[in-house]
Amino acid sequence: MDFSTTFKIVGTGMSAARARLDVVASNLANASTTKTDEGGPYKKKTVTTAAEPVESRFDSAIADALKSVKIESVTEDPNAVKMAYDPAHPDAGANGYVALPDINVMTEMADLITASRSYEACVTAFDSTKNMALKTLEMGR
Amino acid sequence: MDLTGIGKGLAIPDAAAEKPQTAASPASKFSDALRNAVNDVSRLQQTADKAIKEVQTGNTGSLHEAMIALEKADISFRTMLQFRNKFIEAYQEVMRLQV
C-alpha cells in the first residue's frame, strides 16, 4: 500500500470543501443582488459532488471500494426569487415590487460551517496518515 | 560443523545462487541504491517547489495541493534518510569485517 493514495483522496475532499465554501461565499455576497448578466436577480447556487474511482496500488478488493470525490456540477435554483415591496428601488417593477434572491443567510452560514468542518476533517485525516507514515519509519529503532 | 541445512526449510534464498549478479559490480551496489533513493526524493521535492511557486504567484495552484506535495516530499525525504542510515550501517559493518 502507499500513503500517496490516501493523500490523493484527502486532497480531492479538500478541493470539494473549498468549492462548497466558494459557492457559499458567492451566495452570501450576492444575497441582495438584483441584476445579473442572464437577467433577473442572482440565483442561489449549490454544489453537487460525485464519487470517482481512485487509481491505487492496493489489492483489488479495497481498490474497488476507494472513491475520491469530484465536483459534478454547480446548479442554481431558478425559483429562488422573492418579491419585496420597495418602489424606490431602481429595479422595482411597475407594481413597486423588486425581485430579490431568495437566500437565507442562516442556511448559508450553516453550509459554511459544514464545509469548513469537512475541510478540517480532511486535514485531520491527512495528519493521521502522515503520522502513520512517520511511525512506520521509526520501526526497528 | 555443517550449517548448510539450516536455511533449507525456511525458503531463504541461497546467497551463492545470487552471486553472479552481485559479483559484476559489487562496489556500485550501495551507491546505485542510494542514488535511486535520492533521485526519487529530488523529483518529489521539485514537484513541491513547483506547487509552492504556483501558489505564491497566485496562478492556478491551491494551497492544500501545495501542502500535500510538500508533505509527500517530506515523507519521501525521511524515508530516504532511513534508507541511507541502513545502507551506511550495513556498509560500515562490512568494512569492519576482520580478514
Chain B nearest C-alpha distance from A15 (Å): 8
Chain B nearest C-alpha distance from A117 (Å): 15
List CB contacts of A82: < 8 A, sequence separation 6 or more: A99, A100, A101, A102
What's the confidence (pLDDT) of residue A109? 95
Taking the domains of chain A in order of start, what are their residue ranges?
3-131
Give yes or no for B78 touching A (CB within 8 A).
yes
Query: Which candidate, B55, B61, B83, B74, places its Cα nearest to that of A7?
Result: B74
Q: Is the pTM of this model over 0.80?
A: no
CB B79 within 8 A of CB B91: no
Q: Which helix (H) or strand (E) holds A53?
A: strand A45-53
Give yes or no for B90 touching A (CB within 8 A).
no
Query: Mean pLDDT per 10-residue run, chain B (99 residues)?
Result: 47 46 54 82 88 81 86 89 87 89
Q: How many CB pairs under 8 A join A and B?
A: 25
Chain A nearest C-alpha distance from B61 (Å): 11
Give A56's pLDDT tier (boundaries 50, 70, 90): low
What's the confidence (pLDDT) of residue A58? 62
Strand-pairing partners, residue A100, are A82
What's the confidence (pLDDT) of residue B7? 43
State chain A's mean pLDDT as an integer: 90
Helix locations, chain A, DSSP H:
3-29, 60-65, 105-137
> Which amino acid, one-letter code, is at A81?
V
What's the confidence (pLDDT) of residue B27? 53
The reply to whether residue B65 touches residue A134, judged by beta carbons under 8 angstroms, is: no
Taking the domains of chain B in order of start, what are their residue ranges?
30-95
What's the confidence (pLDDT) of residue B6? 45
The reply to whether residue B64 touches residue A15, judged by beta carbons under 8 angstroms, is: yes
What's the confidence (pLDDT) of residue B17? 45
What's the confidence (pLDDT) of residue A129? 93
What's the confidence (pLDDT) of residue A57? 67
List CB contacts of A87: < 8 A, sequence separation 6 or more: A96
Residue whose C-alpha cell is 442554481: A76
Give yes or no for B79 touching A (CB within 8 A).
yes
User: A71-128: per-residue pLDDT in tens?
Assistant: 999 999 888 889 999 999 988 888 999 999 999 999 999 999 999 999 999 999 999 9
What's the confidence (pLDDT) of residue B43? 87
What's the confidence (pLDDT) of residue B24? 47
Is the predicted ipTM greater than 0.90, yes or no?
no
